[in-house]
């Protein structure tokens, strides 16, 4: 079992990331070979003029990784832009996809609309499904953890590898299996949208106890639950949404729900409970992160070591691929 997973380095990671992917990675690293790509070049496809922030973002994401328990002895963390073999494979794959097919990719279509690119889509953004296929396939992974919205990307990847196998009369690549994360969506503290940095509705893995407190206190509960004695609603109550996910004492939680519904349970009691649960989860991460931030050299050494190891792996793969394509001439 070999896993390829990773992130664009766009800033600090939050609880949505933790639940959607980081937690799984901590599990996966004990049962599979795991490569974690920090996709800085992919981040540049819609922020090519802001590359000066990447270094800091990479440092930050690696701290987050290690803070949640990703162990660089078990998982290989590397930086996309330092693996030129990924660029080479992207160029090879570009011959195997038509412009028309790319235009039909639903993920790309949606993102082009969302970012308002229209006619002025940069080629790098337009073609990033091909780069992504290369990022994945260079590692010949058996499984790819993804959110449900990423399924079209996996389909595109499988199309490309089949085309490669057909064109070069080989069976080098095998279909990639998506592993769809059970919790693919954590709602933000606004209770409306998916937790995301840009919507300013996120609880970060580096948040202080006070920040957690402030954010939980902002959460909507039930606007008709005015006095403590009023009966309150559990559905659509953001605090209960979070408790459902993070409160491990399911029995007590059921009691609390009943109590809230019949009245007599104040929001503050619930919020205090949630604050304490979230802080118990985040505090050790925050502390580990704090230590890591002070040891810049150690963190960069982890990245360097992982990237060098990946480079060797990648060189071996690209040599095999060039041999199949008959362009390994000597």
Of 195-234, binders to a second copy (CB under 8 A) are none
Which of 32, 121, 245, 253 binds a second copy (CB under 8 A)? It is 121
Which of 91, 148, 180, 268 binds a second copy (CB under 8 A)? It is 91
Q: Does 49 bind a second copy (CB under 8 A)?
A: yes
Residue range at the interface with a second copy (CB under 8 A); choices 26-34, 190-198, 277-285, 297-305? 297-305
Of 265 and 302, nearer to a second copy (C-beta) is 302
Of 139-198, binders to a second copy (CB under 8 A) are 167-168
Q: Does 126 bind a second copy (CB under 8 A)?
A: yes
Which of 61, 70, 97, 212 binds a second copy (CB under 8 A)? It is 97
Q: How far is the CB of 123 from a second copy (least distance, A)?
A: 4
Q: How far is the CB of 77 from a second copy (least distance, A)?
A: 13
Residue range at the interface with a second copy (CB under 8 A); choices 46-54, 172-180, 260-268, 279-287? 46-54
Orientation angle between helical segments 128-137 and 151-167, nearest 10 degrees: 70
Return phi, psi of residue 318, to 5°.
-70, -30
Size of the site for a second copy (CB under 8 A): 51
Give the full edge-to-edge strand order of the sheet including 33-38.
75-79, 33-38, 2-7, 143-146, 177-180
Which of 81, 201, 221, 279 binds a second copy (CB under 8 A)? It is 81
Q: How far is the CB of 133 from a second copy (least distance, A)?
A: 11
Of 25-44, binders to a second copy (CB under 8 A) are 40-41, 44
Residue 50 has a CB neighbour count (10 Å cut-off) of: 11
Q: Which tokens belong to 156?
A: 């595109």
Residue range at the interface with a second copy (CB under 8 A); choices 28-36, 48-56, 138-146, 205-213? 48-56
Distance CA 206, CA 216 (A): 15
Q: How far apart are the first and last CA of the chain?
A: 33
Residue range at the interface with a second copy (CB under 8 A); choices 67-75, 125-133, 145-153, 274-282? 125-133
Distance CA 314, CA 15 (A): 32
Q: Does 303 bind a second copy (CB under 8 A)?
A: yes
Of 66 and 79, nearer to a second copy (C-beta) is 79
Distance CA 144, CA 22 (A): 13
DSSP state of 117: -
Which of 31, 73, 100, 116 binds a second copy (CB under 8 A)? It is 100
Distance CA 120, CA 45 (A): 13
Distance CA 301, CA 237 (A): 44
Q: Does 244 bind a second copy (CB under 8 A)?
A: no
Three-class SS of residue 50?
Answer: helix
Task: Mark 6-41 as b/e (b = at least 16 C-beta within 10 Å).
Answer: bbbbbbbbbbbbbbbbbbbbbebbeebbbbbbbbbb
Q: How far is the CB of 91 from a second copy (least distance, A)?
A: 5
DSSP string, 252-295: HHHHHHHHHHHS---HHHHHHHHHHHHHHHHHHHHHHHHHHHH-
Judged by the rule CB under 8 A, the positions of this chain that interact with a second copy are 40-41, 44-45, 48-49, 51-52, 54-55, 58, 79, 81-82, 84-85, 87-88, 90-91, 94-100, 102, 119-127, 130-131, 167-168, 300, 303-304, 318, 322, 325-327, 329-330
């Amino acid at each position: 079992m070999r896993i390829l997973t990773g992130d664009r380095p766009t800033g600090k990671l939050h609880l949505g990331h933790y639940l959607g992917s980081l937690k799984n990675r901590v599990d996966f690293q004990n049962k599979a070979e795991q490569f974690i790509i920090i996709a800085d070049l992919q981040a540049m496809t819609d922020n090519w003029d802001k590359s000066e922030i990447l270094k800091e973002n990479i440092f930050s994401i690696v701290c987050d990784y290690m803070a949640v328990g990703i162990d660089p002895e078990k998982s290989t963390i590397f930086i996309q832009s330092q693996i030129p073999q990924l660029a080479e494979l992207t160029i090879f794959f570009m011959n195997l996809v038509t412009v028309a097919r790319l235009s039909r990719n639903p993920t790309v279509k949606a993102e082009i609309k969302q970012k308002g690119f229209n006619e002025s889509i940069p080629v790098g953004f337009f073609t990033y499904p091909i780069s992504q296929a290369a990022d994945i396939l260079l590692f010949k992974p058996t499984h790819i953890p993804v959110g449900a919205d990423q399924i079209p990307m996996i389909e595109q990847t499988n199309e490309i590898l089949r085309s490669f196998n057909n064109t070069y009369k080989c069976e080098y690549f095998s279909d990639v299996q998506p592993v769809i994360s059970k919790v693919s969506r954590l709602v933000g503290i606004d209770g409306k949208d998916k937790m995301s940095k840009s919507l300013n509705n996120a609880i970060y893995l580096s948040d202080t106890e006070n920040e957690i407190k402030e954010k939980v206190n902002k959460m909507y509960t039930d606007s008709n639950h005015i006095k403590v004695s009023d009966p309150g609603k559990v559905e659509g109550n953001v605090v209960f949404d979070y408790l459902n996910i993070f409160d491990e004492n399911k029995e007590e939680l059921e009691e609390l729900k009943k109590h809230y519904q019949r009245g007599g349970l104040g929001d503050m009691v619930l919020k205090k409970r949630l604050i304490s649960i979230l802080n118990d989860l985040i505090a050790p991460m925050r502390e580990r992160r704090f230590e890591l931030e002070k040891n810049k050299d150690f963190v960069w050494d982890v990245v360097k070591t992982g990237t060098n190891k990946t480079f060797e792996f990648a060189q071996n793969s690209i040599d095999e691929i060039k041999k199949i394509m008959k362009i390994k001439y000597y």
